[in-house]
Structure 1
Amino acid sequence: MDKKKDEPWFSDEWFWETYGPLMFDEKRLSETPSEVDGIIRLAGLEDKSEILDCCCGMGRHTIEMASRGFSMSGVDLSAGYLKTAIKDAKEKKLDIEWKRMDVLDMDYENRFDAILNMFSSFGYFDDPEDDLVLLKKMHSALKDDGVLFMDMWGKEVLARDFEERVWFEREEGLKILLEYSVDLNWTELHNRWLFFKDDKMTEYSFHHRIFSAYEMSVMLGEAGFEQVDVYGDFTGSLYDHQA
């Protein structure tokens, strides 16, 4: 597979089209309503709040929240995922503002009551300093009493449950191998995903930074956030050894 060297891996439509069914299978999609229940409760969202889903993907949270009466906007770099999101929203007759852009180009000011950043959609930029840039942009986009809700795998949980190789099978003879390794003193996770079907193999490798609860709390403070609450799941359980 050929890619332009100056393009980040997450701008590659081939990746999302090929691996989307793995990341967003029926089980994960079925969990969306209960996740939204948790978002609304933990973030203290009120009816008709204006909310931005930053890195919205195919819009599973955006659309679910719009169906509950929230004023939703979704931003993502993947044209394919946004096409799916727009189609789904239209079929459900939901009015959602969609934008295709690099989230580092966002220039919202004091607009949203809440911002969502879901499914570990953080830490992928080539330049680590851009992580803080994005947090500052999200802070600027929020109203004075706005809330940022982030969903990610914490470094502590990843270390506890870490497996170097995971094999599993899907329908129609599809076999999948996921390989993981950590680098740079447990600050970066390397992923190698392989699909096997009909004697053919597709492979993709990428990496992203991983953060502990403390590291994220410090960075959020640097971005201007005054209070950081950390939970172990969408029910609001403690972020501890059982998270």
Structure 2
Amino acid sequence: MAWYDNFFNGLVQEAWNAAQTDEQTELECDFLNDVLELQPGQRVLDVFCGHGRHALELARMGYAVTGIDISAESIEALRKAAKAEKLAVETHLGDFLTVPPGDGFQAAYCLGNSFSFFPHDQMLAFLRKIAESLVPGGRFVADTAMVAESVLPDFQERNWMQIGDITFLMENEYDIHESCINAQLTYLRDGQTLQRMAKHYVYTMAELQRLFTQAGLILTDRYSSLDGSDFLLGDERLLLIAQKTE
């Protein structure tokens, strides 16, 4: 069983949802619309869709979105929201590595920093599934804050955050043998304490480029923000744009 199988529920999900804003979602969807070069009616795959903040917004923009996520809580919330608005959103519950998402998608994306969940072999399998789901020339966007060039120059062992009424503590240990961050997460609210473990695998930019190429995806752009700024050493966010080879 993977560490993330039973991770995304309860207070964890509440904290994540509270940390996102409508403005952020709109900006990210505008970015996706531009870099994925979408046309109305095209099929788009949302990998690790969560409760569907991007899927719903893109469906409102006229795209046929398929969302896949391992959290039953999140998928149920997305289904209800899509049904209420009569939006073209299809949902799949399960691990992307084992649940067939289908094929024939013009575009796919993985936002929200879930791109760092896999060790090398599984990361290659993940990227190959992305490529298999896309039509030739289809485009893919991956979002991560865990690339080596972001994490290692200013590695933080402890970090406190306040998210609404939830206090969040992250305690990180870097495993040099696995190039992996083992994180102990603590959520506090009204006397309630919840602890979870998470793993984030750290890749260099060069490693990611080799993995993408092996999977049949060509990296075309590397941005540090939604405004299209080039990614540089020490930037906190990396947005990778790739295209399936013909």
TM-score (norm 1): 0.87
Residue of structure 2 in register with 1:57 after alignment: 50
Residue of structure 2 in register with 1:205 after alignment: 197
Q: Which amino acid aligns with 1:183?
A: D
Matched, 1:181 2:177: no
Q: Count residues with an aligned counterpart.
A: 234
Instruction: Give the CA deviation at 1:29.
Output: 4.4
For the Cα contact (< 8 Å) 1:164–1:179, is it kept in 2?
Answer: yes
Q: Which amino acid aligns with 1:159?
A: L
Matched, 1:142 2:126: no
Q: Which amino acid aligns with 2:186?
A: L
CA distance in 1, matches of 2:153, 2:45: 32
The 1:53–1:241 alpha-carbon spacing in structure 2 relative to 1, beyond 3 Å, is: same
2:3 to 1, 9, 34: 9
1:44 to 31, 37, 49: 37
For the Cα contact (< 8 Å) 2:15–2:163, is it kept in 1?
Answer: no
CA distance in 1, matches of 2:161, 2:209: 35
Instruction: Give the CA deviation at 1:155.
Output: 2.1
Matched, 1:167 2:170: no
Instruction: Give the CA deviation at 1:213.
Output: 2.1
For the Cα contact (< 8 Å) 2:3–2:199, is it kept in 1?
Answer: no
1:112-168 Cα shifts (integer Å, max 9, x gaps)? 00011111222424x531111111111011001101111111321222443221223
Matched, 1:19 2:15: no
Q: Which moved more, 1:230-239 or 1:109-118?
A: 109-118
Q: Which amino acid aligns with 2:110?
A: N
TM-score (norm 2): 0.86
Instruction: Give the CA deviation at 1:93.
Output: 1.9
Matched, 1:215 2:192: no
For the Cα contact (< 8 Å) 1:32–1:61, is it kept in 2?
Answer: yes
For the Cα contact (< 8 Å) 2:63–2:88, is it kept in 1?
Answer: no
Higher strand proportion, which one? 2
CA distance in 2, matches of 1:224, 1:71: 24
2:95 to 79, 99, 102: 102
1:170-195 Cα shifts (integer Å, max 9, x gaps)? 545x4322212221258211211112
Unaligned runs of 5+ in 2: 236-246
Q: RMSD between aligned alpha carbons? A: 2.1
The 1:205–1:29 alpha-carbon spacing in structure 2 relative to 1, beyond 3 Å, is: farther
Q: How does 1:45-124 map to 2 (within 5 A)?
A: 45-107=38-100, 110-124=103-117
Percent identity over paired residues: 24
